[in-house]
Amino acid sequence: MYEQIARNKRRTFVILFLFVALIGLVAFAFSLLFQAGWAGVAIAVVFSLGLAFFSYYQSDRIALAASHAKPADEEEYRRYHNLVEGLCIAAGLPKPRLYVVDDPAPNAFATGRNPDHAAIAVTTGLLEKMNRVELEGVLAHELSHIKNYDILVTTVAVVAVGAIALAADIGLRFAFWGGMRDRRDSNDSGGLGGIIALLALALIVLAPFAAYLMQFAMSRNREYLADASGVQLTRYPPGLISALEKLRDDQAVVHYATKATAQMWIEQPLEQAPDKSERRKFDHLFDTHPPLEDRIARLQEM
C-alpha cells in the first residue's frame, strides 16, 4: 500500500504536467488559428503557467464554490466534527476545514493541495442517512485521499478541465463565426496555412476529450486505494462496506455536481442510466469511479 501511495504521488505530478501541457497546446492552437504569431505563442506560455499557478493555490476554493459548500458550524454538526477530529488523531493529520452541501443525495468529497491546506465537504443527505460507523467510514475514505495526496491532482483537474472545455467552446465559436472566414480572406489562406488552421481547430476540438480521458485514468485506482486506507484507519471494514451499499442503493444525484467535479466525490454524483445497480460492464467505461459493487467486493475480501 505504501508503495502504491508513493506511485500515486509520482503520477500526480506527471498528470499535473500533462494538464499544463494540454492547456498550453490549446492556447498555442488559438495563436495559430487566429494568426497571432510569436506574440500569441508567448501569451500561450504565460497563460498556461498562470493557470497552473492559479489552480495550485485557488482550485480548492473553486471546487467548494462550484459545489455550493458552506462551512460546517461546529455546534450544529458536532458529530461530523468529532468524527473527523478522532480520525485525524489516528492518522496523524491536521484537521481539514469542514463543509456541508445542502443536498439530499448522500455523497462527500475532499479537496485542497496538501494535508495542511485541505477541506472535506459532505452533503446533508449523507449526514442524515448514515449511522455513526458508516459516516466514520466515509470520512476515513476522504481523509485517506488527503493523506495519499490524491486531492491535489483531482482538485486542479476541476479547474483544468473546466478551463479547457471553456477555451474550446470559445475557440470553436470564434472559428466558425469569424476567425476561419478572416483567415480565408487573408493572403496566407490555402495551402500550408489552411492545413495549419485545420490542425489547430482539430486540437481545440479534441482537447476537452483528452482532458476527460485523463480524469478517467487518474481517479479509479485512487478510489480503491482510499477505500483500503480508510478501513485501515477505522479498523472496521463493515462500516465503509455498509456506507457504500447505501450509496449503491440510493438513486439520488447531487444537484451541484458537474462533469468537471465528478471525480472528487466518493461515488459517481451524476445521473446514470439504467439503474445504478443493474448497469452492464460496458456502461462503466466512461465513469470517473469504479463500480460500487467492485469496491464492496474488494473490501469484503479484506
Active site residues: 142
CA-based end-to-end distance of the chain: 13
Whole-number Å distance between alpha carbons of 84 and 234: 11
Pairing type for strands 108-114 and 117-123 reads antiparallel
Whole-number Å distance between alpha carbons of 48 and 39: 14
Using DSSP's 3-state secondary structure scheme, residue 73 falls into coil
Instruction: Report DSSP letters for 167-206, one per residue.
Output: HHHHHHHHIIIIIHHHHHHSTT-SHHHHHHHHHHHHHHHH
With a CB cutoff of 8 Å and minimum separation 6, the contacts of 28 are 40, 41, 44
